[in-house]
Amino acid sequence: MAELELTIAYKTKPARVGLILMGALMPVWALIVPFCLGLFLGLILLKPGQVSPLITMLVLMGLAVIPIISVVVTALCEDDRLLVSKEGLAFPLFMLPGLGFRRERLWSDLSHVRLIWNGTSNYSNHDMLLMYFRSGGCAQISLKDVSKADLEQLFLALEIWGANAQKVQEVTSFQNLLQNENKGLEHLSYTQMWEEELSRRFNATAFVPLEPGKTLQSGQLKIVRQLAFGGLSAIYLAQRDNLELVVVKEAVVPANSDQQSKDKATELFYREAQFLMRLNHPQVAKVLNYFVDDGRNYMLLEYIHGQDLRQLVKQHGAQSEAKVLSWARQIVDILLYLHGQDPPIVHRDLTPDNLVLREDGDLVLIDFGAANEFVGTATGTLVGKQAYIAPEQFRGKATTQSDIYAFGGTLYFLLTGHDPEALCQSHPRERNQDVSDKVDQLVAACTNLELSQRVPTAKEALEVIAEITTKQPVSELT
């Protein structure tokens, strides 16, 4: 929801039926009725006095009113958008009676929010979001008639811009469930959702993470919620200048570190963050800024709305080989761009968690490892997801081929639904017999523990993928 204005499709059943009906009747009210009106007017002009004035007036009014009413009804049915901005909301025309015929409402006018909800993800016709306004009127929005992705955006807008309105506990519970569903968790029990998400995203930290509502940079940034934290780093969703959403990544140097380690880590963090800010690729999350606030180091990144590949696989299971190869092309294209920089950029954290699938089908690589390197340098410890880290990266000597190893591990996960075993060459065909020998060879070649035998560059990985997808022979890689 980085846009200044959000458009939410709100397609109610009566509006859909009405639009279909008016479309079917369009030849009548748009052509036949005006034609009859013209004929009647012509008859009156040619033979005045033959029809009584009362009948003439009634017929003329009837023939004139039918197209007007039809146009109005069609406009009401076609207006199926709810507009949300930082100033307020604009509701569809058919909701005007319940709003006292005031279509636009400011956030300051929103007094309280209620939710009528059956407690499950299967919404009924009675499940409603109710927004009451101080100046009078209530907006009733059917949960069933809004997509879950748009519902998440609407509830996020209520959380950020409608923060002063009173909300019942059900609103928060529903928002949490909705966010988990959109991340692919709807088929898990509540206990599983809680435990798995906490273990993945919220591990123990060696510092106190920022709480929602905390401001940074003299109030320019406001923390909305914690997205993940663990060890010596944290990731937050924040709002910048009360407008767009951004991601804040925090890296902490332990207080007991010596000054030399702190200085070295800070220098590395700034140098790499400044370099990353120059990147410009549509499938790479932009690094917008870096700064220090109250002695803590932060990096500001573009907010990407979508579902990460880990949760997509958790929801739908192992993916088809054709789909994985399509994604593999996109990932390798991103690596080509990063590794083609001068000097080459090693992402260091290429995993299913850091690849977000947008609604347009494009993958976006997020969460650069700059802060991870920064923390690792300061503490002398390795930061990252072990199953995707190449042996040389464990030794603190990451290269572009380390990203190739992580790329192979990511393909393994997408094809099997399981994380690869750490520090092992991966063969997805051992878990999924539907994986072809050629793709199995590709993954094994990318995850070879020996640099000399691993796929050397993203360009060569792309060539292999092209050979597989065009059914050309693939040379033996392992």
Give residue-wise pLDDT tens across range 96-113: 889 988 989 998 899 999
**What pLDDT score does 372 carry?**
47
pLDDT digits (tens, 9 = 90+) for 131-160: 999 999 999 999 888 888 788 878 878 877
Per-residue pLDDT at 86: 74
Q: What is the mean pLDDT of the chain?
A: 81
203-469 — its CATH code?
Answer: 1.10.510.10
Domain 83-191: assigned CATH number: 2.30.29
Q: How would DSSP label each residue in 131-156?
A: EEETTS-EEEEEGGGS-HHHHHHHHH
Name the residue with higher pLDDT: 458 or 313.
Answer: 458
Q: Give helix 53-78 / helix 33-46 axis angle, nearest 10°.
A: 160
Q: List active site positions.
A: 349
pLDDT tops 50 at residue 378:
no
Tell me how far CA of residue 189 lies from CA of 116, 149, 194, 196, 284, in angstroms.
22, 21, 9, 10, 34
Instruction: Kindly report, residue by residue over 30-39, the tens digit of the pLDDT.
Output: 888 888 888 8
pLDDT at position 396: 79
E-only strand ranges, 338-436 = 355-357, 363-365
∠ CA 287-397-266 to the nearest 5 degrees? Answer: 45
386-422, pLDDT tens digit by residue? 789 999 988 878 899 999 999 999 999 999 999 999 8
Whether 437 shows a pLDDT value over 70: the answer reads yes
- pLDDT, tens only, 24-79: 888 888 888 888 888 888 878 887 777 778 888 888 888 888 888 888 787 777 77
How much is the pLDDT for 403?
95
- Can you give the pLDDT at residue 329? 97
Q: What are the two backbone dihedrals, phi and then psi, of residue 460, each rounded to the nearest 5 degrees? A: -70, -35
pLDDT of 84 reads 86
Q: Domains of the chain: which residue ranges?
A: 13-78, 83-191, 203-469
Is 186's pLDDT higher than 60?
no
